Amino acid sequence: MQEEKLQCYLQQHLMSLITRELQSWNETFSLESLPHDPIAFSYWVVSSLPLDDSMKLTLLAVNSAVQRLRAELHIMRAVSQLSSLSCNDVI
């Protein structure tokens, strides 16, 4: 029972972090249309991110919503921190 509660908390926490990341990209981003179910939310993120088809397929193949959400958050944070190769300044 404790593991189930932890899993639910982790899913909600990851969804919250992803939502904040999306809002940092676009301050007018509407939260109303987001799925509330963690599984549906994780699939929505895959479909909404500007990723190539092979990356989307890789994410869709992940069997765990928590693992998929973690991977999505990692990708989102990585692309948020673009830097110049010549001078290493964050863009």
pTM above 0.85, yes or no: no
For the chain, the structural domain boundaries read: 2-79
Which tokens is 80 given?
């948020």
Q: Which of 6-10, 16-20, 60-64 has the lowest mean pLDDT?
A: 6-10
The string of pLDDT tens digits covering residues 25-82 is 888 878 788 999 999 999 999 999 989 999 999 999 999 999 999 999 999 988 876 6
Residue with tokens 């500007």: 50
Helix (H) or strand (E) holding 2, with range, is helix 2-25
CATH topology of domain 2-79: Methane Monooxygenase Hydroxylase; Chain G, domain 1 (1.20.58)
**The token pair that represents 42 in the structure block:** 């994780």
CB contact burial 6-44 (16+ within 10 A = b; e otherwise): eeeeebeebbebbeebbeeeeeeeeeeebeeebeebbbb
Residue 17, token pair as written in the block: 């972090």
